[in-house]
Amino acid sequence: CSKTKVILALRELPLQLDSQDHLHKYQDEFIFPKVNDKKVIYFTGNSLGLQPKRTKKYIDEVMDDWANLAVEGHFYAEKPWWDYQERFANPLSKLVGALPTEITVMNTLTVNLHLLMVSFYRPTSKRYKIICEEKAFPSDQYMFQSQVHFHGYKPEDVIVEIKRREGEHNIRLEDVLTKIEEVGEELALVLIGGVNYYTGQVFDMKTITEAGHKQGAYVGWDLAHAAGNIKLELHDWNVDFAAWCSYKYMNSGPGNASGCFVHEKHHTNKELPRFAGWWGHNKERRFKMEPVFDPVHGAGGWQISNLPILSLAPYLASVEMFDEIGMDQLILKRDKITSYLEFILNEISKEVQGSFEIITPTNPSERACQLSVLLHGEGRSLFDYLMKNGVITDWREPNVIRLAPVPLYTSYEDMFHFGQILKTGIVEK
Ligand SMILES: Cc1ncc(COP(=O)(O)O)c(C=O)c1O
Ligand SMILES: Nc1ccccc1C(=O)C[C@H](N)C(=O)O
């Protein structure tokens, strides 16, 4: 009888939590794929966010302006295209803790990191090393290697990876700081993923940025898994530059535009080289077709081409939704729902001893909206079972599934149902 009471209480809890959740209503703002005619439980908003229903309207608006105004749309559309990107400055700067002039949107993530490295990685014979994290997202690794080759160096002489300690899944802050000090005057650049894509570990960006600066290096951040997920204070942390994609937590659509941050202190530095184009030229005189580049003071000065408005439209829809809610509310729910998911996983783990372990840090200040689960044994077949039963996770070699309970559109009840499906899947395997 007491066992039945416990089971009932466990069943009641998610319903109660959902009824108290101010963000619960936002689930209806998103389109969920279906499996077996049922809405999926979607855990991969850290890879590709769901489509917000309001997005279509933003795209249709551009399509209609294009149809009705054609070239005149650049200046006479209700949201003119020539300075469309400026609509992002206020809402997006709030999301990442920046001044509006420190933000712009353009290109895609790896492209922007390359462009920012043109400005902020300028090796000399004495100062040429780059510190990054071990097993950074592969695109970042290829970027580092190709940048190093471009400057005529060898990756093995330049790239210093911060390693995990033997038997540990996450990188210790003290090891990052020690390495920065060790590399010292040879350090040109620190560039790390603010949230690790594999483990979900959140780095202490303020402390690491300070430590890099102390050695005279520039410090930049790849915020692919951080934007729209964690509280960022890029300006106050004195970060030199950062970039992020918008298709994960920001729900802007596959392969969509990237956001860029360049700290105010660099805006008028004429010594910084950059690859220029007319969209970075003085706004008032952009159409005078002048021969000499005069960059906009601000991150906008790093723009190159006129912007793909059809790709910015869904990003704008999303940024406006985030602005409506604010990061503080999202973070409150993020922490609660992630802890609830952790509780469910731990309960199941006790029952099915040794099947899996969570490798994401347990300390809430070192994680955000992701729990990475290392599966022991027949991991791949469990992953397939989950997918077949309407739980969308992703599989990362060699044996990890990542679960991101995105606060905008997942519910406590989803977590509960997921737990049931997972348990059945493990028992049946
Ligand atoms: C940490 C990180 N860096 C870079 C990328 C690559 O982004 P993109 O393909 O938009 O350049 C991703 C994801 O795709 C990522 O997670
Ligand atoms: N853009 C993609 C296209 C195809 C497959 C995956 C991606 C990802 O974005 C992966 C992402 N970086 C991740 O951490 O899941």
What CATH number is attached to the domain comprising 355?
3.90.1150.10
Q: Which residue has the CA at smallest separation from atom 3 of ligand 2? A: 255
Whichever domain contains 298, its CATH number is: 3.40.640.10
**The pLDDT value given to residue 279:** 97
Q: Is 197 near ligand 2, meaning CB less than 6 Å away?
A: yes
Cα dist from 131 to 220, 265, 294, whole Å: 11, 22, 33
16 located within any domain:
yes
The whole domain housing 34 covers 2-52+327-428
Q: Is 222 near ligand 1, meaning CB less than 6 Å away?
A: yes
- Interval between CA 140 and ligand 1 midpoint (Å): 8
Q: In ligand 1, which atom is closest to the CA atom of 255?
A: 10
73 located within any domain:
no
CA 321, CA 316: separation in Å to the nearest integer?
9
| Residue 315 phi, psi (nearest 5) | -70, -40
Q: Same domain for 285 and 354?
A: no
Q: Same domain for 151 and 33?
A: no
**The pLDDT value given to residue 111:** 98
Domain boundary among 325, 341, 368: 325
Point out which residues pair with 158 in neighbouring strands.
none
Considering only CA atoms, which of 361, 424, 360, 359 is closest in space to residue 391? 424
Task: Please name which ligand lies nearest the alpha carbon of 258.
Answer: 1
Task: Please name which ligand lies nearest the alpha carbon of 196.
Answer: 1
Domain boundary among 307, 325, 343: 325
**The pLDDT value given to residue 354:** 72
Q: Same domain for 293 and 163?
A: yes
Q: Same domain for 86 and 225?
A: yes
Q: Is 223 near ligand 1, meaning CB less than 6 Å away?
A: no
**The pLDDT value given to residue 34:** 97
- Interval between CA 109 and ligand 1 midpoint (Å): 6
Q: Same domain for 176 and 262?
A: yes
SS3 for 186? helix
70 located within any domain:
no
**The pLDDT value given to residue 377:** 78
69 located within any domain:
no
Q: Same domain for 318 and 342?
A: no
Task: Return the CA Rg of the chain.
Answer: 23
Q: In ligand 2, which atom is closest to the CA atom of 46?
A: 15
Domain boundary among 269, 297, 325: 325
pTM: 0.96
**The pLDDT value given to residue 31:** 98
Q: Same domain for 320 and 368?
A: no
- Residues in the chain with pLDDT values less than 70: 1-9, 429
74 located within any domain:
no
**The pLDDT value given to residue 278:** 96
CA 109, CA 258: separation in Å to the nearest integer?
5
Q: Is 47 near ligand 2, meaning CB less than 6 Å away?
A: yes
CA 123, CA 157: separation in Å to the nearest integer?
12
**The pLDDT value given to residue 95:** 97
Q: Is 81 near ligand 2, meaning CB less than 6 Å away?
A: no
14 located within any domain:
yes
**The pLDDT value given to residue 8:** 64
Any known ligand binding at 109?
yes
Interface confidence, given as ipTM, is 0.96
**The pLDDT value given to residue 1:** 62
Q: Same domain for 98 and 209?
A: yes
**The pLDDT value given to residue 7:** 67
66 located within any domain:
no
Q: Same domain for 10 and 91?
A: no
Q: Same domain for 157 and 298?
A: yes
Structure tokens at 138: 């592969």
**The pLDDT value given to residue 5:** 66
Q: Same domain for 356 and 410?
A: yes
Number of structural domains (the chain) is 2
**The pLDDT value given to residue 351:** 87
58 located within any domain:
no
Q: Same domain for 178 and 286?
A: yes
- Interval between CA 205 and ligand 1 midpoint (Å): 19
